[in-house]
Structure 1
Amino acid sequence: MFSKWNWIFRFSKGHHLGLFILISLIIGIQILIYWHKNKEVEVLPISKEELAWIASQNEIDSLVTCQIVDGNKIYPFNPNFITDFKGYKYGMTLAQIDKLHQFRRQNKYVNSAEEFQNLTGVSNEWMKQYSPYFKFPDWVTQRKNNKFINYDTKFKANSSRIIVKDINVASQEELESVYMIGEKTALKIIAEREKLGGYASMEQLSYIWGISPEAILDLNKKFAIQSNIGLKKIRINDSTTKELAQFPYFNYAIAKNIVTYRSMNGDFRKIDDLTNVKLFPVEKLKIIALYLEF
């Protein structure tokens, strides 16, 4: 029986020493691992100044979190003009976005966060996150903040003593006195007037994007066409494509079609001849006729 284990006793002293060192290393490593796992973590005391700094840093982090959505800062915006992309980005459903767009296609606006939620049906959590960034026009904000002014009543009360003014010489301040017209819309009216050299019909104001039907009604009460001396007339039979394209109611394609038709069929003799031109805006024919010379 001892002959089977006889090979152990054939090791030299060097082999015995090596085995002893190896076994000692294994035991030592196991002791170190056990000691490290059971060692108590030393907790360093925190001063009052460090606690105050941590609290202030947490507050700063919370403010930054409120202003960041997926890494993008949220800027104040008018919820009436939320696009498909922005609505999807802010977590609105397609049905909620469609409700808003259908409402806007009727030329209607929401004027408060409550109206927006009632219309779209977004959740309270959504409103809590995004409604602080809603920005409505100044006239809406002023109407909410001033409890003593009823703008509808104000405009109706003043309607009986309105002095009608010339739209072609109206100033920005006079235009801003119109119901639902602010600075940007007033500047649009003036810019369009300068392009045309003056308005020939009050109907032209309805072609300017962004003017509500209510504003058009009040404009017609307060203003009229009283002078048209500066109208920029267009010689329809002599003007080049480039010159025709500068007219606000034409674009380059329409101008090119007018010149092409004229070269193939001769001069235009009356306004109705222009209805034969491809892409011509027939719905504005009567207005355009006021700016043409044959």
Structure 2
Amino acid sequence: MKPIRSHFAFTRSQQNGIFLLLCIIIIFQGIYYFSDFSPEDSDVGLTPEEVERFQAQIDSIKLARAEADSVKVFPFNPNYITDFKGYTLGMSATEIDKLHRFRDENKWVNSAEDFQEVTGVSDSLLASISPYFKFPDWVIKAQKEKEKISTNRVISVSDLNNVKAEELQRVNGVGEVLANRIVDYRNKIGGFRSEIQLKDIYGLNYETREALQRRFRVLGDQKFSLININEAKVLDLVAVPYIKYELAREIIDYRQLHEGIKSFAELSKIESFPSDKIDRIQLYLSLD
């Protein structure tokens, strides 16, 4: 043990030297930590105009690079799409094969609708590439004649309150589930008072609703009884399909507080009132 201890024994002068070295290290560490060695003139003052100009230059460079990297699409006849062309357009191998099999039968695609029916591409992809479709002039002329005949054709309009689910399914976009949902909702509210009530049907998008309204309307001179909102009681208001008991109480409280309701727009001031349905609610109400 004595030889080992000799390695850790220091004389007084050695101890002082070690202590002085430690002090110097601590001083330099403190100077490095607390001092700022950056040059005083390192900050470059830029005005907002200069910053905006530099940002505009950066944006233009990014835009130019993005345009250089993007694939430019030129007008083309979709009947002659190759494997490589289809790949660059975003089509899958299955969709390209469907088109090629169709063309092998000596059949032709003459419209964007035909192209989607043959290949099965998604609506989003069709919307992005169909503007570049270029068909022969005779095809375009024939398509315009077909559209003209279709426009001039008289479409018979049926009563929305008497139509059956099977008839509703003849409209593009209306399946069995949606047709039954429309009929069930009609029965629930005691019949439609206006076509705008189709907005309440879950899953019925704007385009399909417009197509339905071209084929079906609320016909006849039916005079529906209206509820006077300034005289109605709670149970009277609850009879309206869109008004529940709590909302009926709030409407009456508001009416009493403001000594009557002078316009339907006032109802939107009630916190829980469904303002997005006011066009349908007023089909059941009157102000006097």
Q: TM-score range by the shorter chain?
A: 0.3 to 0.5
What TM-score do you get using the length of structure 1 for normalisation?
A: 0.41
